Amino acid sequence: MPDRLPPALAAALEKLYAAMDADYAAAAAAAGFVCRGCDDTCCRSRFEHRTWIEFLYLRQAFEKLPAERTAALRRRARSVLDDRRGAPDPAPACPLLEEDRCLLYAARPMLCRLHGVPHRFRLPDGTWREGPGCAVFDRRHPAPGGAPLDRTPHYARLARLEEACRRALGLRGGLRRTIAAMLVAGPEEGT
Ligand code: SF4
Ligand code: SF4
């Protein structure tokens, strides 16, 4: 498993993340939604992330933490993986969630960034799919204002970056991994 993302790809991903954050902020503002004071955090969801580029980017940010911190977080991630086996969703929380804050907020993957507001995206055949807001959004905004967040350009840009990443690093096959599985050392640990 490669452990280094080419700097140009990391920079391109950062630009894409900034675009996602800007679109998310605009959609949330249009709906009057504030992701705060939530007792139902989506960081307890078992999101599975699908791109090597995001995995490697997050791992690089993780490896910059002090060694004793990464060791403790790996232990926590292993315990999360053990506890999740056979446990109903949602439980337990992402190992990077500490005191209601994400320890690697700037490097969090797309699914963490875009979750919360209603969205839509266009499939290659031209049809549209729609997705709801988070449970908190739906409770607070039974009739939201503003258009749903269009994820299409972000999905397309991420797909292009993922392709470039796989080509540059000789990676074959897809990825399907939770944050807990990303943090532990073995590439084939569970979810
Ligand atoms: S990476 Fe951060 S934002 Fe994503 S689930 Fe974990 S704690 Fe939450
Ligand atoms: S996006 Fe929704 S579920 Fe997630 S932390 Fe914000 S309010 Fe809570």
What's the 150 CA to ligand 2 centre distance in angstroms?
18
Q: How far apart are CA 4 and CA 9, in angstroms?
A: 10
**190 domain-assigned:** no
pTM of the model: 0.92
What number of other Cβ atoms are within 10 A of residue 191's Cβ?
Answer: 15
Query: For residues 123 and 125, what is the distance between their CA atoms, to the nearest angstrom?
Result: 5
Determine the Cα–Cα distance for residues 55 and 174; give it in Å rounded to an integer: 11
Q: How many residues comprise the chain?
A: 191
The domain containing residue 158 runs over which residues? 7-183
Distances (CA, A) of 158 to 20, 76, 102, 108, 164: 11, 29, 22, 14, 10
Q: Give residue-wise pLDDT tens across range 104-158.
A: 999 999 999 999 999 999 999 999 999 999 989 988 887 766 789 999 999 999 9
Residue 191 placed within a domain: no
Q: Is the distance from the beta carbon of residue 27 to the nearest atom of ligand 2 less than 6 Å?
A: no
Other C-beta atoms within 10 Å of 56: how many? 24
Residue nearest to atom 8 of ligand 1 (CA): 43
Task: Indicate whether 188 belongs to any domain.
Answer: no
pLDDT tens profile 70-109? 999 999 999 999 887 776 665 688 999 998 899 999 999 9
Q: How many domains does the chain have?
A: 1
Q: What residue owns the CA closest to ligand 2's atom 4?
A: 42
